[in-house]
Amino acid sequence: EPEVTQTPSHQVTQMGQEVILRCVPISNHLYFYWYRQILGQKVEFLVSFYNNEISEKSEIFDDQFSVERPDGSNFTLKIRSTKLEDSAMYFCASAADGNEKLFFGSGTQLSVL
């Protein structure tokens, strides 16, 4: 069964450092998303991406965040200068159609020290 894969599963970084979280969405999907979940809190929308551009972003997704689809298979989330409060589980998701069923990866646990 096709699945969304995310690497790394864990990422530890120092405050102020840049991190790149990587995702390989399901191959025939056209809509891509990043969500995050701070420990004990709900899954929060960060950004959606379609047709090589951001279609929507939340207030969390400020200038420190960027997304890119550098080739036909990868979808990345970059945090330029990490803060302590960026520590969370980051989930990538993809969908064949907007508002259709989202398939989530297993997440990257980001710890900012």
Which residues, in sequence order, are CB contacts of 18 under 8 Å at separation 6+?
Answer: 78, 79, 80, 81, 82
| Nearer Cβ to another protein (45/76) | 45
Which residue type, as a one-letter code, is found at position 102? L
How far apart CA 34 and CA 79 sit, in angstroms, is: 12
Residue 11 near another protein by CB under 8 A? no
What are the CA-CA distances from residue 38 to residues 20, 92, 93, 109 (Å)?
18, 15, 17, 10
Q: How far is the CB of 87 from another protein (least distance, A)?
A: 15
- Contact code string over 49-88 relative to another protein, x by CB under 8 A: -x----xx-x------------------------------
Using CB under 8 A, list all residues that contact another protein.
4, 33, 35, 41-45, 48, 50, 55-56, 58, 89, 91, 93, 97-107, 109
